[in-house]
Amino acid sequence: MTGKFLFNKKMILLGMLPGLLLYFCFFVAPSIGTFIFSFTDITQVPGKAWSFIGLNNYKELIFLSNGRDFLEALEKTFVFSISTTIIQTAFSLFMAVILCRKFVNYRNLYRTVIFMPTILGVTVTAFCFQLFFSIDGPAQKLLNLFGASSGFFGDYQWAFPLVIFCQIWMSAGYEMVIFIAGLQNIPEDIYEASNIDGSNEWQTFWKITLPMLWPTVMVNLSLCIIGSLSAFQIILMTTGGTPQTRTLSMFVYQVAFGMGTLDPNAGKQGLAAAMQIILFTFILIITVGSRYLMNKVNGED
């Protein structure tokens, strides 16, 4: 940057100003606001007086009456997040490896089909599965063949695994596309060398593909964990967040905005903010932890 060639600095700053203001006022400030709100008893009702109540929201969540709901939601969050992450990552890695094989014709068609739910979005996906798992839908007919039946999203045992399935169905394509991009970065000659050395496909995958792909795997794992910890839209749209399927992020929106299944605490946004902060703490620990692990693994190579 030589002193001679410069645009008018004021113009540059003027150009940045609207974006910075919008970003600060409607993104950064509300995020910080969530911390502040978690110490207040603010409600959804406009104009109602509110005050600071210290740590009461946190105490209420952990020790008081609805503490059991909260802990149950916390447990559901972890089950949801861990099972989604493991199954989704394994599935999308497997499909990515298969759909990069040269001998498979119409590879792009198959990739497009698996990626399609990302385009359809949560609303269409949720209605699609409500139909598929409706009382006289195809899934029910299939179960009837085996002499069984189920209430699916309304069922005590089935609802939660089904919601996890929907979440994976919806977001596996995105993860697969990232894996494919990572696989395409691996130089071809490495595979040729291992072929000449006579290693079979299983060995090639474990000894070459996976180590070379490791950075992408770590990125995908952390994206998937963070995404699934804060995913609630599919739950809201399929079951409405019944207690069997209520994860923490679902609970936050139920309490803050009275969405889905009615909760006695609906409208208490201070309480919801406190839940959000607890959820955020977990996300932060996992993000920092995975970064640390990632650097460690990369450093050893």
Partner 1 sequence: MRKLTSRFLVYFSILIAMLIFIVPLCYVVFTAFKLPEEFLSNPLGLIFSPTIENFVNSWQKANFGFYILNSLIYVTAATVLSLICSLLIAFPIARNYVRFSSGLYFFMMIGVFLPDGTIPLFQILLKTKLFNTRLGYIIAMLSIGGVALMFFVSYLKGIPTDLDEAAITDGCGYFTYFFKIIIPLSKPAISSMAILTAIGIWNDIVKAIIFLSDEKLFPITKGLFVFSGQYSTNWTELTAGLIIVALPLVVLFLYLQRYIIDGLTAGSVKM
Tokens of 169: 């169905």
In the complex, least distance from residue 66 CB atom to partner 1, rounded to whole angstroms: 18
Asked if residue 52 binds partner 1 (CB under 8 A), the reply is no
- As beta bridge partners, residue 245 has none
Asked if residue 191 binds partner 1 (CB under 8 A), the reply is no
Encode burial over 17-47: b for 16+ CB neighbours within 10 A, e otherwise. Answer: eeeeeeeeeeeeeeeeebeebbbbbbbeeee
Asked if residue 195 binds partner 1 (CB under 8 A), the reply is no
User: In the set 143, 178, 186, 208, which binds partner 1 (CB under 8 A)?
Assistant: 178
Asked if residue 298 binds partner 1 (CB under 8 A), the reply is no
Q: What is the C-alpha to C-alpha distance for residues 16 and 127, in angstroms, rounded to an integer? A: 41
* Residues of span 209-228 touching partner 1 by CB under 8 A: 216, 219-220, 223
- Dihedral sign (CA 187, 193, 194, 195): positive
Single out the segment in contact with partner 1 by CB under 8 A; choices: 77-85, 125-133, 155-163, 239-247.
125-133
Asked if residue 67 binds partner 1 (CB under 8 A), the reply is no
Single out the segment in contact with partner 1 by CB under 8 A; choices: 42-50, 54-62, 71-79, 144-152.
42-50
**Do residues 270 and 48 touch, judged by C-beta distance below 8 A?**
no
User: In the set 39, 70, 129, 152, which binds partner 1 (CB under 8 A)?
Assistant: 129
User: In the set 67, 134, 161, 211, which binds partner 1 (CB under 8 A)?
Assistant: 134
Q: What is the C-alpha to C-alpha distance for residues 234 and 216, in angstroms, rounded to an integer? A: 26
Tokens of 298: 């990369």
User: In the set 123, 144, 149, 203, which binds partner 1 (CB under 8 A)?
Assistant: 123
> Where does the chain show beta strands of DSSP type E?
none
Asked if residue 62 binds partner 1 (CB under 8 A), the reply is no
User: In the set 41, 66, 137, 267, which binds partner 1 (CB under 8 A)?
Assistant: 137
Nearest C-alpha neighbor of 232 from the set 253, 246, 250: 250
Site string for partner 1, 264-293 (x = CB under 8 A): -----x--xx--xx-xx---x--x------
User: In the set 143, 177, 186, 286, which binds partner 1 (CB under 8 A)?
Assistant: 177
**Do residues 159 and 80 touch, judged by C-beta distance below 8 A?**
no
Asked if residue 63 binds partner 1 (CB under 8 A), the reply is no
- Number of C-beta neighbours around residue 12 at 10 A: 11
* Run of H or E residues at 130: helix 107-132
| Nearer to partner 1 among residue 68 and residue 301 (C-beta) | 301
Asked if residue 235 binds partner 1 (CB under 8 A), the reply is no
* Residues of span 22-41 touching partner 1 by CB under 8 A: 22-23, 25-37
Size of the site for partner 1 (CB under 8 A): 94
Q: What is the dihedral of CA 100, 106, 109, 111, to 10 degrees?
A: -10
Single out the segment in contact with partner 1 by CB under 8 A; choices: 79-87, 144-152, 170-178, 238-246.
170-178
Q: What is the DSSP letter of 52?
A: B
